[in-house]
Amino acid sequence: MNKAANRPVEIALRALQLIFAIIAMGTDGYAIHAYRGHTVYQHFEFGNFYEYYGVPNAWGFLMFCAAWTFLGVIFLVVAEISFANHKLIGYIRVAVEVVALFSWLASFIAVAVNIGSNVCPEEENGCGSLMAATVFGALEWLLFVITTILTIKLVFNGTRRPKTSTTSPGIPI
């Protein structure tokens, strides 16, 4: 795909990434809000104590990925528009894409592990929205797979080559 035909596709994919990040942030935020931690009485031979279990860290990591996506997508759009011919910015764009790709992969898998377990049983209020957050996290990951592949192809296949020959015309090859 050439660069001109790639522009509308990239804008549509970036818009979907922002929309899915908003949805994932909202549903995960509701799950965090609705989750009620619980206290467990622990009995040991040395003494007893109450231990409080709060919101799992994976849920916060999904929220972080959704918030980080805003910064990443804004950078990627600005870099594509303003610094399209800069080689270093191209490599930074690839790095941002790859970090976002692996962050979303790790976050939606970490949250999916909690669904149906003791942390988030089926009858809990926030678990339905947590399932939705997991689905949109997986869709966000798929979008980043597509955009990462497009960015890698654009950056590494579009490298500049010298316009003139490096050999002199009188030297036989």
CATH number of the domain encompassing residue 78: 1.20.140
Give the span between the Cα atoms of 141 and 17, in whole angstroms. 9
Task: Report yes or no on 135 lying in a domain.
Answer: yes
Of residues 86, 130, 95, the one with CA closest to residue 110: 130
pLDDT digits (tens, 9 = 90+) for 29-66: 988 888 776 677 777 877 788 777 778 888 899 999 99
As for how many domains the chain has, the answer is: 1
Residue whose tokens read 């009620």: 36
In a domain, 79, yes or no: yes
Answer yes or no: is 165 within a domain: no
What CA–CA distance (Å, rounded) separates 81 from 83? 6
Note if the pTM is more than 0.85: no
Is 33 among the domain residues? Answer: yes
Asked whether residue 18 is assigned to any structural domain, the reply reads: yes
Residue 154 to residues 17, 61, 75, 93, Cα–Cα distance (Å)? 19, 30, 16, 11
Predicted confidence (pLDDT) per residue in 78-119, tens digit: 888 887 677 888 889 899 999 999 999 999 999 998 887 766
- The answer to whether residue 173 sits within a structural domain is no
Residue 35 resides in a domain: yes
Domain that holds residue 97: 3-157
